Amino acid sequence: MAATMAAQPLPPPAAPPVANRASLALALPLAPPLPDPSQRTSLYVGDLHPEVTEEDLLTLFSRVGPVSSVHLCRDRLSHNSLCYAYVNFKSHSAADTALTNLRYTELRGKSMRIMWRQRDPIQRKTGTGNLFVKNLDSSITSARLQEIFIKYGEILSCKVAEENGKSKGFGFVQFDSEISAMAALNAVNGTVLEGKKL
């Protein structure tokens, strides 16, 4: 009589070795370093009139320095302007001159908002250094708000919220660091501007 063998269950697969947090961190690729601010050549241009074209932007920005490219952002389906663009210069000095001299310039009857292109998605999405400024007088424009806050640090974005071309009484200022934002908050919070307490 043949002997029968009972089926033996297979042993469970070996668990992968447990790595500590330090080794996991070392295994992950490091994020590329942020570009040196003195090497930036790309500007974000927002609040554009819907009829502004690439040619309009190229003509205007070429007056301050050599432009390498202009990209007007458009809706993928309708191809209508999304009312913002990126202007890339051949040098940092030309971009810096454009930022200084053309900020809040009118193009086709609408004031443009210009700032350095922000390539750090974490800083863009988390709102690092972002201040909400309320109780603004209707006479306060984005340009005036920028003048008030510029002395506290580098501003990435500054905008008074509008509806149908009229101020909604509040705005946003984003600094490049929390330190600058806190300095501005401590200095400006509670001050009176055009008869209204901020």
What does CATH list as the number for 120-198? 3.30.70.330
User: Residue type for 157, please?
Assistant: S
Provide mean pLDDT across the span 121-133: 71
Six token digits for residue 92: 């940092």
Residue 79 predicted with pLDDT over 70: yes
Write out pLDDT tens, residues 9-51. 555 555 554 444 433 333 333 434 445 666 889 999 999 999 9
In the chain, the DSSP E strands lie at 42-46, 67-74, 81-89, 106-107, 110-111, 113-116, 130-134, 155-163, 166-175, 192-193, 196-197
Residue 76 predicted with pLDDT over 70: yes
User: Which homologous superfamily does the CATH classification assign to the domain defined by 39-117?
Assistant: RRM (RNA recognition motif) domain (3.30.70.330)
Residue 183 predicted with pLDDT over 50: yes
Contact 174/157 with Cβ under 8 angstroms?
yes
Count of positions (residues) in the chain: 198
Between 91 and 196, the higher pLDDT residue: 91
With cut-offs at 50, 70 and 90, classify the pLDDT of residue 120. low
CA angle 117, 95, 41 (to 5 degrees): 55
Domains 39-117 and 120-198 share a fold: yes
Spell out the domain ranges in the chain. Answer: 39-117, 120-198
Six token digits for residue 155: 């501003």
φ and ψ of 138, to 5 deg: -65, -15
The rounded percent of the chain whose pLDDT value lies above 70 is: 76
